[in-house]
Copies of this chain bind each other. A is one copy, B any other.
Amino acid sequence: MDKRLSSLSEAVTDIQDGATVMIGGFGGSGAPIELIHALIDRYLETGSPKGLTVINNNAGNGHVGIAAMIEQGMVAKMICSFPRSADPTVFTQAYLAGEIELELVPQGTLAERIRAGGAGIPGFFTPTSVGTDLAEGKPVQQFDGRDYVMERWLKADHALIKAELGDSLGNLTYRMAARNFSPLMAMAAAKTVVQVTKAVEPGAIDPEVIVTPGIFVDALVEVANPAQEEELNRAGAHHP
């Protein structure tokens, strides 16, 4: 069994219109730019996929990555904690024009909901957001005299993430703070596709340092020298 794919286009070919897609990254760290851009390229060629629900901490920055997906009109809804950034004009304009839906989720609740999706936990209780607008309509229950909000798991049809090393079984490591949501999203998506900076053979990664075991990964493609979103934006890049 070898989970390696030979091209980026192959990696994003089965994402359907209306799919829910988790995309790794916190700001630019961990953003799988090449996978996202391959998906945009497919959309520009074929008109699909569109009407996507995208789950990410943010809502894109500048004119690359998720911002470029929104700019092309591929995204119907964002689920995120912080849709502001240094240059969030693409999301902001679409949102204020009513062209994109927003589900705002506190960051820790977002992380835990994704983990719950991957771990088979359909609901859990958190103190986060109790008594605030973001708890509206959610069940509240008391434990040991304190109020907690019940939150539901988040799952996705696909996850697109970026990792550092990946072996052919799908075992992954990450690079510094680029880890963020990616190990959770790998657990929570029906199909997880990874761009790895270096593809290696099984055994090349010490079993003690694997962060995402291969069971959570469906396919991976090597992208050596990946673009860093922050650097692209500082250079004023656009995609396409």
Contact = CB atoms under 8 A, between A and B. Distances in A.
A225 to B, nearest CB: 20
A141 B127 contact: no
Nearest to A144: B122
Contact of A120 (B127, B141, B173, B174): B127
Interface residues of A, number: 25
A120 B148 CA distance: 10
The copy count of this chain in the complex is 2
A173 to B, nearest CB: 7
A20 to B, nearest CB: 15
A120 B124 contact: no
Nearest to A139: B141
Contacts of A174: 208
Interface in A154-179: 173-176
Contacts of A206: 209
A197 interface: no
A46 B211 CA distance: 44
A206 to B, nearest CB: 8
Nearest to A127: B120
